[in-house]
Amino acid sequence: MTSLATDSKQTDTRPSAHPVPAPGTWPTAPVSVVILTLNEEINIAECLASCGWCDDVHVLDSGSTDHTREIAEELGADVHVNPFESFGAQRNWAIDNIPMKHEWIFHLDADERFTPELVEEMRRVIESDPTEAGFDVPHKLIFMGKWLKRSGGYPTYQMRFFHKDRMRFRDYGHGQRENTDGYLGRMKQPYLHYSFSKGLYDWLDKHNRYSSLEALQAIQSGKEPLGLRRLLVKDPVVRRRAWKEISFRIPFRPYVRWFVTMFILGGVLEGRAGWSYIRLLTIYEQMTTLKLRLLRARSRAGAERFEKDDKPKADTKAHDAGDQFFERGAEDVPLGPAAENFEQRAAAAIKVDDSGQLIPESSPWTFREKVIRSVWMLAGRPVFRLSFHNWYGFRAWLLRIFGAKIGSGVRIRPTVNVEIPWNLDIRDGVTVGDFAILYSLGKITIGERTIISQYGHLCAGTHDHTDRRFPLIRDPVTIGSDAWIGADAFVGPNVVVGSLSVLGARSSAYKDLDPATVYVGNPAKALKKRELH
């Protein structure tokens, strides 16, 4: 095909920190461009305008019902149609079925734009005769007319520029991953991404679908090892993917992402545009977390709810299947081929037989408790740990701020691990030694002048192992006055340790201990009466 005709009507005229220039003066590069579309009549003309430097532009449409294909054909692009199964399958279909003029391909979305600098860099890379299979390319997120460098996490990379004989894709979550043995390079110049070009409603609708597939991927990733070594590699793409897999397993994921993006990455400095975008990211994470919780809850009803429809509709979009799965129940969901495989993998990750143990129940904590616990973990606990060793009054004051009842003269070492402060009731004169664990899921009461030695463990929480839901039990631990819990000793939930009792080093108490008695062993057994002189 000939180069796309361009005029001033096709340039990006929206207010933006990085408007797309008229491409008539741009450099050229021997690259074939493929644009994936579905109802993109709002974006396609401006997208093709930024492709005016290219002599081989293809639009791969998934079955638009608007004027996307007509506009693309009028502007000189070669238009192809293939029913959408998944992003990975669609990109592979383009590689295998579209006759490309050039060996190097760039995959662009309709809400994205080339820049002259990126085209020039592609030209230089190809002239160097690279051996790489492909190149990750950064993008600049444009929102409310502003480039969100911090809130958008710049630079984040996507595999968009590759050699057609060296690259294939596989599905992962709502997107795709590279499927190649070749070395991957990295470009410096970004493309522009107008994620909200079709409006906020479209963004929310799209990310609602994405969150469904993210939840399914989280189930699959949950049974795989974390691979923490990937956090230490130089490749930022590998590090980012490792962090994402870890994030599936941390509590309060939406609020952690809000805090990190706002304050660690500096989104707070980007004004209303940055704050608004970070809020939208938090909503997306909340949708993912809720759907993950619902997915786990469905497993309790039996693995048969994850069986696919016997007669799936061939034209069903894979990215719609996630929402239908949660809204209607898996037995009613018509699935495309790629979606079927993904659903089956997710089902396999949580499927159990009648005698097996199901995934534990969803969080029993209230929203308010989750917020306070997150503040304690992110702010209170680090301050507690970094305080000077003899600042006993400061640590007592800090625990009181978070709801603990702390008497006078209490001496708690900075290395003590306090799980939930507001479940602590520590009376006058108590001493808690280094590295002791106050696992206060339930209430922990420690009487006057009692000593908890180093590494002592008071555990006020367990699970009901007789219930397939594995519900949390928050039974209390009560230690009487003038007692002594020895080094590395363990006191289990719903145990009362009598006044003046002693639990010897490395002993474990699972039943009540009588007052004024010395106990040793695992399980602890009475050794003798305690006599004070």
Domain residue spans of the chain: 8-198, 202-350, 367-529
pLDDT tens-digit map of 277-304: 999 999 988 888 888 777 766 654 444 4
Residue 110 confidence (pLDDT) above 90: yes
* Phi-psi category of residue 267: left, alpha or beta, with phi > 0 → left and psi -120 to 50 → alpha: alpha
> Is the Cα torsion angle 520, 523, 529, 532 positive or negative in sign?
positive
pLDDT class of 314 with cuts at 50, 70, 90: very low
248: pLDDT strictly greater than 80? no
Least confidently predicted of 50-54, 306-310, 441-445, 510-514: 306-310
Note the pLDDT of residue 395.
96
Q: What angle do CA 317, 323, 327 make, to 5 degrees?
A: 130
Beta-bridged to residue 520, according to DSSP, are 525
Asked if residue 206 has pLDDT above 60, the reply is: yes
Report the pLDDT value the prediction gives residue 302, as an integer from 0 to 100. Answer: 44
Q: Which residues contact 236 (CB under 8 A, 6 or more apart)?
A: 155, 157
Tell me the pLDDT tens digit for each residue of 156-203. Answer: 899 999 999 999 998 876 667 888 888 999 999 999 999 898 888 788
Mean pLDDT, rounded, for 57-65 = 96
Q: How far is CA 272 from CA 90, 145, 152, 269, 276, in A?
A: 36, 11, 14, 9, 6
- Spatial CB neighbours of 103, under 8 Å, sequence gap ≥ 6: 30, 163, 164, 165
Q: Judge whether 375 and 367 are in contact, CB under 8 Å.
A: no
- Looking at residue 267, its pLDDT comes to 92
Distances (CA, A) of 434 to 267, 413, 532: 38, 5, 26
According to DSSP, residue 499 is labeled: T
Q: What is the pLDDT of residue 242?
A: 65
C-alpha of 16 from chain center = 29
Q: What is the mean pLDDT of residues 84-109?
A: 94
For 131-163, the pLDDT digits (tens) are 999 999 999 999 999 999 999 989 989 999 999
| Residue-by-residue DSSP string for 184-241 | EEE-SSPEEE-TTTT-HHHHHHHHHHHHHHHHHHHHHHHTS---GGGGGSS-HHHHHH
**CA-CA distance, 517 to 503, in Å (whole number)?**
9
User: Inter-axis angle of helices 318-328 and 271-300, to 10 degrees?
Assistant: 60
Secondary structure letter of residue 183 according to DSSP: -
| HEC readout, 289-337 | HHHHHHHHHHHHCCHHHHCCCCCCCCCCCHHHHHHHHHHHCHHHCCCCH
Amino acid occupying residue 489: A
Confidence of residue 306 (pLDDT cuts 50, 70, 90): very low
Question: Is domain 367-529 annotated with CATH 2.160.10.10?
Answer: yes
Question: Residue 16's pLDDT is what?
Answer: 41
Q: For the residues of 256-270, what is the DSSP string, one character each?
A: HHHHIIIIIS-GGGG
Residue 309's pLDDT band (cuts 50, 70, 90): very low
- Mean pLDDT, the chain, rounded, equals 82
Question: Which of the four pLDDT bands, split at 50, 70 and 90, describes residue 22?
Answer: low
Check residue 247 and give its pLDDT.
Answer: 64
State the pLDDT at residue 322: 44
Q: Out of 237-246, 259-268, 352-361, 423-432, give the one with best mean pLDDT.
A: 423-432
Q: Is the fold of 8-198 the same as that of 367-529? A: no
Worst-scoring range by mean pLDDT, 13-22, 95-104, 418-427?
13-22
| Over residues 87-115, mean pLDDT | 95
Q: Is the pLDDT higher at 174 or at 427? A: 427
pLDDT of residue 330: 37
Alpha-helix runs per DSSP H in 301-429 = 318-328, 337-350, 367-375, 381-386, 392-401
The CATH number, out of the four listed (3.30.1490.100, 1.20.870.10, 3.90.550.10, 3.10.129.10), of the domain defined by the range 8-198 = 3.90.550.10
What's the pLDDT band for 312 if we cut at 50, 70, 90? very low
pLDDT in tens, 361-401: 556 777 788 888 888 988 899 999 999 999 999 999 999 99
Bridge-based pairing of strands 517-520 and 457-459 is unpaired
> For 240, phi and psi rounded to 5 degrees?
-65, -40
* Strands 457-459 and 437-439, bridge-based pairing: parallel
| Dihedral over alpha carbons 385, 387, 392, 396 (to 10 degrees) | -60
In whole angstroms, how far apart are CA 308 and each of 23, 214, 321, 340?
A: 48, 19, 11, 7
pLDDT(482) > 90: yes
Res 291: pLDDT: 83
Q: Please, which pLDDT band fits residue 338 given cuts at 50, 70 and 90?
A: very low
DSSP letters spanning 18-77? SPPPPGGG----SEEEEEEESS-TTTHHHHHHTTTT-S-EEEEES--SSSHHHHHHHTT-
CA distance 521 to 533: 25
